[in-house]
Structure 1
Amino acid sequence: MSEQQAIEAVVHLYVEGMTFANEAALRKAFHPQSTVIGHYEHAVEWLTRDEFIAAITAEGAAPPGTQPYMDITMIDVAGDAAMAKVTDEFAGMRFTDYLSMLKIDGRWTIVNKLYYLHS
């Protein structure tokens, strides 16, 4: 598997984890010390991984058979650091996410998510 394919696999894990409120998938996609940052409801939201996962699972899963929306528009890799830009949907909202990733112990993981909520 190429580095790009490995990064895309983590992005898929993240988007599917959000869509279906899959806590295990989200824990696998995000580093334990990762952060999630963006403007939500007119305020800066700055969440830990666990706070983010709790918010996703509280919202609940999309209905079975839902096809997760995801458009990976950019992946940039420099050694063991990478950035993926993805547009996705969650709970009827469209986001553009900038996912900072680091390869740790041979596996890509999201260390930071900076998001924009489209109006």
Structure 2
Amino acid sequence: MTDRQAIEAVVHLYVEGMTFANEAALRKAFHPKCAVIGHYESAVEWSTRDEFIAAIVAEGSAPPGTQPHMDIQTLDVVGDAASVKVSDDFAGMRFTDYLSMLKIEGRWTIVNKVYYLHN
């Protein structure tokens, strides 16, 4: 598997984890020390991985059979660092996410997420 394919697989894991409130998938996609940052309900939200996952799980899963929306708009890789811009949906909202990724011990992981919530 190429680095690009491995990165795309982590992004798929992340989007499907959000769509179906899959805690295990989200824990696998995100580094334990990552931050999730963006404006939500008119305030800056700055969450740890665990706070983010708890919020996703509390919202609950999309109905079975839902096709997750995911559009990778850019994917840039240099060595063991990567940046991904992806459009996705969660709980009826459209987001643009900027994912910083790092290859650690041979495995790509999301180390930071900055998001924009579309109106």
Normalised by the size of structure 1, how large is the TM-score? 1.00
Q: Which amino acid in the other structure matches residue 89 of structure 1?
A: D
In the aligned structure 2, how far is the partner of 1:74 from the partner of 1:10?
A: 15
Unaligned runs of 5+ in 2: none
Q: CA deviation at 1:29?
A: 0.1
Q: In structure 2, give the amino acid aligned to 1:26.
A: L
Please give the TM-score of this superposition, normalised by the length of structure 2.
1.00
How many residue pairs were aligned?
119
Query: Does structure 1 residue 73 correspond to structure 2 residue 73?
Result: yes
In the alignment, does 2:49 pair up with 1:49? yes
Name the CA distance, whole Å, in 2 between partners of 1:47 and 1:71.
Answer: 24
Counterparts of residues 40-119 of structure 1 (less than 5 Å): 40-119=40-119
Counterpart of 2:29 in structure 1: which amino acid?
A
Computed over aligned residues only, the root mean square deviation of the Cα atoms, in angstroms, reads 0.3
Per-residue deviation at 1:33? 0.2
Q: CA deviation at 1:41?
A: 0.2
- The DSSP-based 3-state class of the residue aligned with 2:55 is helix
Q: In 2, Cα distance between the equivalents of 1:105 and 1:66?
A: 34
Deviations 1:18-64 (A, max 9, x none): 00000000000000000000000000000000000000000000000
| Partner Cα separation in structure 2 for residue 2 and residue 85 of structure 1 | 19
Structure 1 runs, 4 residues or longer, greater than 6 Å off: none
The percent identity for this pair of structures is: 82
- Runs of 5+ unmatched residues, structure 1: none
Distance 1:74 1:8 in 2: 11
Q: Which residue in 2 is equivalent to 1:13?
A: 13
**Does the residue aligned with 1:6 lie in a helix, a strand or coil?**
helix
